[in-house]
Amino acid sequence: MRTFFIISLACLTLCSFSQERSIETFLSDSAMIHASFSLCLADANNGEVVMEYNSGKSLIPASIMKLITSAAAIELLGPQYTFKTIIGYTGSLNKRSGRLTGNIVIQGGGDPALGSKYFSDHYQDFLSGWVTDIKKLGIRKIDGRVITDDSYYDFLPVPAKWLWEDAGNYYGAGAFGFSVFDNTYEIHFKTLYDSSQLVITEIVPYECRYEFSNWLVAAGTSDEGYVFAAPYSTNGWLAGTIPVNMEDFVLKASIADPPRLIAKMMNEKLEAAGITVSENPTTIRLEQKSLSEEVVRIAETISPPLADIIEVLNHESVNLYAEHLIKELGKVYKNIGSTAAGVEVVKGFLQDAGIKTDGMFIEDGSGLSPLNAINTGELVNLLFYMRNRGKYFPEYFSSLPDAGKEGTLKNYFMDPVFESRLKTKSGSMTRVRSYAGYFTTVSGKNMIFSVIINNYTGPSKNIISGIEEIIKEIILSK
């Protein structure tokens, strides 16, 4: 049974004249003439709605979709849940000669954070560690190859409803059965005054060097450069503009085939350590067959606990982590590591929590798809559920960044009134701005809020300032 309700109103329900004026001023701004606006504010203790506007209207949420994915993940999997990557071998090992007649196998287990810059202390140099473990067995020659088993999830890393513009860039990295280095690589440029002189100075990791057609231009001071490349591809193109007169400008792109990349890197590490490998590295997907032989375990690498991964997910708004988590939910609860299966699990979680899902259209876990749509009323209901009935609310709450201090909020909500009062997830994409989370008023009242704006015009800073002013007035007046 639901213990709280939101009554959808066509008009604005307000708690003070000053807040009415601030919202009227915001909505009358020229940037909002063609925009859709939705707001819901509720008492965090009893769920009573104290302010709303179009709270039942389904709008594109952008990254506040991650609040739904991370809530489902931490409640259904638990904060101590971990992912496991296994290193092993198939075939027979002659310990006297050090000859392995078989393959070195890297079995992916859906770890979203392996080799991540956010967890560098946790993983350290994991590849060298794997090689050390292999050498400890006395292996000196491999009559076979390095194979990455990337079959833990499906072979459709990018959700079908993502934009082509996004998929080749770091924030559009897909979720593979084996992911590594945040599925991101760097293209370093030296740009000169002449826009035709774009020099690629370095690619990191260098194994990610692909064939690119280059229509990238150096102009101005902002980064408008894009990489267009599909998952598993070995070519693509660069387009747009990057800043001129830069000694080292970095364009970050998504790794097209992380399982194949790690097989190549592992092969090179083995060769450098004096272990010869007779055949070229590959993946299960490329072999188009599953492993038929038993894998003898050599070592395993375990991820940080889920609570730590979700903290990075919501602080830094990492799309990749959200896409991994939604696939993991599908894998654990339906034995299908796909986005579609994960969406079913998430919707089931919401319904069990008393959240209406008929106005929610969930296409991914991160909010990157412009075909996602949710409403602020039900998102507030979810945040109320997590606070009052969730098993792991402390971990969930701590995953939200503090206003003006952390992650995506580091440069926003800087007014002292927000300090130690506001924890919220932000969302942004073209013509979309959104926020949802928790705050405490000066009088000590705990509140939950969500706001989504679609199709505004003009600079986003004006929209953000308007939202900040509305929340500030509520904090000061309640």
CATH architecture for segment(s) 84-154+259-304: 3-Layer(bba) Sandwich (3.50)
Which tokens belong to 229? Answer: 């490349």
What predicted TM-score, i.e. pTM, was given to this entire model? 0.94
CATH 3.40.710.10, the chain: domain bounds: 17-80+307-477
Q: Which CATH class is domain 17-80+307-477?
A: alpha beta
Which tokens belong to 62? Answer: 């952008």
Strands 422-429 and 92-94 turn out to be unpaired
pLDDT value, residue 361: 98
pLDDT value, residue 9: 35
Strands 446-454 and 36-43 turn out to be antiparallel
Indicate if the alpha-carbon torsion angle 295, 300, 304, 307 is positive or negative.
positive
Give, in order, the Cα–Cα distances in Å from 477 to each of 51, 288, 318, 321, 413: 13, 63, 35, 38, 17
Detail the DSSP E strand segments found in 206-347. 211-218, 224-228, 235-242, 246-254, 276-277, 282-283, 296-302
Instruction: Evaluate whether 334 touches 345 at the Cβ level (below 8 Å).
Output: yes
Angle between helical axes of 339-352 and 319-334 (0-180°, round to 10)? 80
> What span, in angstroms and rounded, lies between the C-alpha atoms of 326 and 7?
30
pLDDT value, residue 199: 81
Task: Give mean pLDDT in consecutive 10-residue pieces for the chain, a chain of 478 residues.
Answer: 35 49 83 95 96 96 98 98 98 96 98 97 96 97 98 97 96 98 96 74 90 87 93 92 91 97 98 98 92 93 98 98 98 98 98 96 98 98 98 98 92 94 96 97 96 95 92 87
pLDDT value, residue 102: 97
pLDDT value, residue 288: 87
CATH 3.50.80.20, the chain: domain bounds: 84-154+259-304
Buried b (16+ CB within 10 A) or exposed e, 282-303: bbbbbeeeebeeebeebbebeb
Which tokens belong to 319? Answer: 């799309």
> What span, in angstroms and rounded, lies between the C-alpha atoms of 478 and 476?
6
**CA-atom Rg of the chain in angstroms:** 25
pLDDT value, residue 195: 63
The H-or-E segment that residue 391 falls in is none
- 124 conformational bin, left if phi > 0, alpha if psi -120 to 50, beta if neither: left
> What span, in angstroms and rounded, lies between the C-alpha atoms of 387 and 39?
19
Buried b (16+ CB within 10 A) or exposed e, 121-131: ebbeebbeebb
Place of tokens 């890197």: 265
Instruction: Tell me the DSSP string of 64-118.
Output: GHHHHHHHHHHHHH-TT---EEEEEE-SEEETTTTEEES-EEEE----S-TT-GG
